[in-house]
Chains A and B, each alone.
Chain A
Amino acid sequence: MKGEFGSISRKGFEGRFGYGMRSRSHRVVEDCSVTVVDALRQSCWANMPSELLRDVLMRIEESECSWPQRKNVVACAGVCRSWREIMKEIVRNLEVSGKMTFPISLKQPGPRDTLIQCFIKRNRGNQTYHLYLNLSQASNDDGKFLLAARRCRRPTYTDYIISLNADDVSKGSNNYIGKLRSNFLGTKFTIYDAQPPNAGAKVTKSRSTRIVGMRQVSPKVPAGNYPVAHISYELNVLVQVASVKNFQLVASLENGAGGQEQENVILQFGKVGKDIFTMDYQYPISAFQAFAICLSSFDTKIACE
Chain B
Amino acid sequence: MVASPTRKRDFDEEFVTETKMSVLFEVVLAANYLDIKGLLDLVCQEIADRMENKSVKWVRKTFFIENDFTPEEEEIKHEHAWAWEGVESDEDD
Q: Give the interface of A toward B (CB within 8 A).
A: 5, 9, 13-14, 16-17, 19-20, 22, 41-46, 48-49, 51-52, 55-57, 59-60, 63-64, 68-72, 74-81, 83-84, 102-103, 144-145, 164-166, 174-175, 208-209, 212-216, 219
Residues from chain B with a CB closer than 8 A to the CB of A174 are 74, 78
- Decide if B66 is an interface residue (CB 8 Å cutoff): yes
Instruction: Report B43-89 residues with CB < 8 Å from chain A CB.
Output: 44-45, 47-48, 51-56, 59-60, 62-69, 71-72, 74-76, 78-87
Q: Give the interface of B toward A (CB within 8 A).
A: 22-23, 25-30, 32-34, 40, 44-45, 47-48, 51-56, 59-60, 62-69, 71-72, 74-76, 78-87
- Complex Cα distance A43/B45, Å? 22
- Our pick among B28, B34, B76, B87 for the contact of A78 (Cβ within 8 Å) is B76
11 contacts between A and B (CB under 8 A): A16-B26, A20-B32, A56-B51, A59-B44, A63-B48, A78-B56, A79-B56, A79-B67, A103-B79, A164-B82, A212-B79
Taking the closest CB of chain A, its distance from the CB of B72, in whole angstroms, is: 6
With contacts A20-B33, A45-B63, A79-B59 known, is A144 near B52, CB below 8 A? Answer: no
- Complex Cα distance A214/B53, Å? 24
With a 10 A CB-CB cut-off, give which of B47, B68, B85 has the most chain A CB atoms.
Answer: B85
- Complex Cα distance A13/B15, Å? 14
B30 touches A71 (CB 8 A): no
- Our pick among B23, B65, B72, B79 for the contact of A45 (Cβ within 8 Å) is B65
With a 10 A CB-CB cut-off, give which of A22, A43, A48 has the most chain B CB atoms.
Answer: A48
Residues from chain B with a CB closer than 8 A to the CB of A60 are 48, 51-52
A74 touches B78 (CB 8 A): no
Residues from chain B with a CB closer than 8 A to the CB of A49 are 29, 32
With contacts A45-B65, A75-B59, A79-B60 known, is A103 near B44, CB below 8 A? Answer: no
A59 touches B48 (CB 8 A): yes
Give A20's nearest chain B residue, CB to CB.
B29
Residues from chain A with a CB closer than 8 A to the CB of B84 are 71
With a 10 A CB-CB cut-off, give which of B32, B65, B83, B84 has the most chain A CB atoms.
Answer: B83
- Complex Cα distance A267/B51, Å? 37
Taking the closest CB of chain B, its distance from the CB of A79, in whole angstroms, is: 5
B83 touches A71 (CB 8 A): yes
With contacts A59-B45, A209-B72, A212-B79 known, is A76 near B51, CB below 8 A? Answer: yes
Taking the closest CB of chain A, its distance from the CB of B81, in whole angstroms, is: 6
Residues from chain B with a CB closer than 8 A to the CB of A77 are 76, 79
- Complex Cα distance A209/B79, Å? 12
Residues from chain A with a CB closer than 8 A to the CB of B26 are 13-14, 16-17
Give B74's nearest chain A residue, CB to CB.
A174
Residues from chain A with a CB closer than 8 A to the CB of B28 are 52
- Our pick among B53, B65, B74 for the contact of A72 (Cβ within 8 Å) is B53
